[in-house]
Amino acid sequence: MVHETVPKVELHCHLIGTLNAPLLREIDLAGERILVRPENVQPVGFGEGPQGFADWLVRVEPYKSAGWRDYLPVLEAHMERLVQQGVVYAEMMISPMMFARDTGALVEEFAEFQERVRSRERGVLQVEFLFLVPRSLPDEFIDKDIARCIALAKTGGICGISIAGLERDCPASRFERMFGVLKDHGLGIEIHAGELGGPEEIFEALDVGRADRIGHGVAAFRDERLVERLCTENVHIEFCPTSNLKMGAARDIASHPIGLARDLNMNFSINTDDPGSFDCTMNSEFALIESEFGFGKVDFQAVARNSLAARFQRNLRYDIQIPENFQAGAVEAILV
């Protein structure tokens, strides 16, 4: 398939969402600790919607409060999968709860975490992190999270933050001060908007949140003015097709706006969101888009270039190029 000839960049993936039975089995077989039995982690099915995802989160409950040491084998197994799929750069959303509450201890733990991750990149994949802030975060925790994010921004631990959760119940405007302060510290702002909410949540993310990237953004295509603005301002949209289908953000793949976004020459990436819970991979997402919308090599190269340009970590540790002739499995050849 054509997509296999172009390197991939993933900007929207939650670490907890990578959990699935094969990955947990592999970790277990390697003698590392797992917190839930693989056979209990069935993915979300089509038609299950947000309740299906909520049920999935219950299945992986122990990982919601797990520390970074329990996540390392998960991340390492996931990174191996990314390399196999020709992913050369990935940004992952992780919970601040994985680390110590105390800021000094947080910085130390994060440095150790990052060192382990970098040792697994093997010169073929760069992995960066965003702290995930739930929309439902109580007010009293917002200031604490700001302080933690600033500490990690200064040490190069994280490159951005992401706001996710139920859009209608918790407007992004609650985080207005946080967005301003963190932006001033050089962090990128990603806001999940227009997934289950409407175009108004995307307007809010742009106007109040000063979002650099919009997660999902499917609802944007219900409002011509908004589509025009996204085009004019070259706002990056992180599309997650299978997630959109399973969560009910798109009725079926034919009605997903990614084909239109390509036709309008918009700036977007193709992502898994939660490859474990939605039972998809970067390869399967790209294959889906290729077969449904006829994306060709030029389209995928544009996706790769736009995705890489929309990254929050400006410093690349490797010389990542999007070459004309790329062979999956030979990423070493293009990374120096």
Residue numbers at the binding site for Zn ion (CB under 5 A): 273
Span between the terminal Cα atoms of the chain, in Å: 26
Q: Which is nearer to Zn ion, 193 or 302 (CB)?
A: 193
Q: Which is nearer to Zn ion, 92 or 320 (CB)?
A: 92
C-alpha closest to that of 268 among 312, 223, 219, 216: 216
Bridge partners, residue 129, by sequence: 92
Q: Which is nearer to Zn ion, 214 or 230 (CB)?
A: 214
Min separation Cβ 164 and Zn ion, Å: 5
Min separation Cβ 13 and Zn ion, Å: 8
Q: Which is nearer to Zn ion, 124 or 191 (CB)?
A: 191
Q: Which is nearer to Zn ion, 182 or 214 (CB)?
A: 214
Min separation Cβ 240 and Zn ion, Å: 7
C-alpha closest to that of 314 among 143, 188, 182: 188
Q: Which is nearer to Zn ion, 192 or 262 (CB)?
A: 192
DSSP track, 20-50 = -HHHHHHHHHTT---SS-GGG-PPPPTT-HH
Q: Which is nearer to Zn ion, 134 or 171 (CB)?
A: 134
Min separation Cβ 14 and Zn ion, Å: 6
Separation CA 176–CA 235 (nearest Å): 19
| Amino acid at the residue 90 | A
Separation CA 51–CA 263 (nearest Å): 33
Q: Which is nearer to Zn ion, 17 or 199 (CB)?
A: 17
Only one residue has tokens 């190269």, namely 301
Question: For residues 156-186, b (16+ Cβ closer than 10 Å) or e, as one string?
Answer: ebbbbbbbbeebeeebbeebeebbeebbeee
C-alpha closest to that of 61 among 32, 37, 33: 37
Min separation Cβ 104 and Zn ion, Å: 30
Min separation Cβ 89 and Zn ion, Å: 18
Min separation Cβ 12 and Zn ion, Å: 6
C-alpha closest to that of 216 among 233, 204, 228, 199: 199
C-alpha closest to that of 216 among 190, 251, 189, 234: 190
- What's the burial of 155, exposed, middle or buried (CB within 10 Å: 0-12/13-18/19+)? middle
Indicate the residue whose CB is closest to Zn ion.
273
Helix%, strand%, coil% for the chain, nearest 5: 50, 15, 35
Min separation Cβ 216 and Zn ion, Å: 7
